[in-house]
Amino acid sequence: MPPETEARMAETLQSGFLAEGARVRAFTESIADFIGNPRAVAVSSCTMSLTIAFKLAGVGPGTEVVTTALTCVAGNEPIAMLGGKAVWADVDRETGMVTAETIEPLITPRTRAIYVLHKEGAPAAIEDIYALAKTKGVKVIEDAAHAFGAKRRDWKIGSKGDFVCFSFQAIKHVTTGDGGALFCGDEEDYRRARKAKWFGIDRDMREGRDVWHDDISDWGFKGNMNDIAGTLGLSQMAHIDWILQRFHENGRRYDAALADVPGVVTLKRDPADFQTYWGYTILVENRAAVIDRLAQAGIAAAQIHVRNDIYSMFEAERRPLPNTDWFDAREVSLPCGWWVGPSEQDRIVETLKKAVQ
């Protein structure tokens, strides 16, 4: 642990206040300033952020969410937990993400939200999806767990949009040990989100007041961040530009090195976007053999997310998804973090070339 982080953590631990307080407020202000949206709510996990977003969007018994199966199950379990139904949209084979075209036929009067994953830090084609959502009167919930600092054209993911959910779990670009944040586009949603994270009570209104005697008009969660996590996050934010630049540079090096390799298909990426490349996803035939060959060389490659619709909890929601089937059978991600230096990246590329022969 760097000396400055150790000193900050010691100060927090010795302060006698470990719950949500000054450190969480400071961390929230830091990420809000970085993203460019003051309507930020720090929470205990990205899953909590998503759960709050679904709740505020009106997801409940008898409702539906148009979503993708190609994501972490944490993106879809909150739908079921709230009593809603996941309606699987197919993906674009070139990106692995849903599009307005795959979503539109699935929207019904029961639809309350559209779930969109910015896959491994690559921004989705979100403008068309928001245009569609507006005509249908539904909210868009963006899973940006891998996209903290990513830009769609000239604006950062989270700076606008209905609900944008970030992760600060242990292995993300910024870590608080575990944690997340919900960014809201609407002031009323922001007000409700602050209450939803803590039993339906706005903790920010506690100063000098006994809020427990205030009316609680709607239920909430125990989903707030604590000052230990906030302290770690603040220390991480001091290095965020360098961290993101290293991820991005590694991703761009893979783009160039793998562009014309036989047996490797790289994803379609918009050159106008700033992508955070949490993992570098490629498509290969005979994936298991390729992963095994890389593992023999000490290279940890894997499919980041197992498709959610294979789980029995979603058995009733299964439907044909031909593009998802195709993409899911070939997807594998290579290490792309700041710790992967140029020489190691060259070794990964050369090993991969042999593995796909």
Average pLDDT estimate for 203-222: 85
* Average pLDDT of every residue of the chain: 96
Count of CB atoms situated within 10 Å of the CB of 118: 26
Q: For residues 42 and 245, is the Cβ–Cβ distance under 8 A?
A: no
Statement: residue 17 has pLDDT above 90: no
The pLDDT of residue 1 is above 90? no
Q: Tell me: pLDDT of 2 over 90.
A: no
Predicted TM-score (pTM) of this structure: 0.95
Tell me what percent of the residues of the chain surpass a pLDDT of 70.
Answer: 99
Give me the half-sphere count of Cα atoms (radius 13 Å) on the Cβ side of residue 261. 22
Distance of CA 309 to the CA centre of its chain: 19
Looking at residue 209, what is its pLDDT? 73
Cα–Cα distances (Å) from 303 to 167, 284, 333, 339, in that order, read: 19, 11, 6, 20
Domains of the chain in start order, with CATH, are 3-237 (3.40.640.10), 240-355 (3.90.1150.10)
pLDDT recorded at residue 60: 98
Residue 73 confidence (pLDDT) above 90: yes
Q: Please, are residues 20 and 224 in contact by the beta-carbon 8 Å criterion?
A: yes
Q: How far apart are CA 302 and CA 288, in angstroms?
A: 9
CA dist., res. 252 & res. 255, Å (int): 5
What type of residue is 80?
A
pLDDT of 206 > 80? The answer is no
Q: For the chain, what is the largest distance between any 2 Cα atoms, rounded to a whole number of angstroms? A: 69
Amino acid code (one letter) for 131: A
**What integer is the mean pLDDT of 142-154?**
97
pLDDT of amino acid 322 = 98
83 in Cβ contact with 60 (< 8 Å): yes
User: pLDDT tens digits, residue range 20-69?
Assistant: 889 999 999 999 999 999 999 999 999 999 999 999 999 999 999 999 99
Per-residue pLDDT band for 72 (boundaries 50, 70, 90) equals: very high
For residues 104-110, give the mean pLDDT.
98
Section 332-352 average pLDDT? 97
Task: Decide if pLDDT at 207 tops 70.
Answer: no
Residue pLDDT, tens place only, 264-299:
999 999 999 999 999 999 999 999 999 999 999 999
The mean per-residue pLDDT over the stretch 138-144 comes to 98
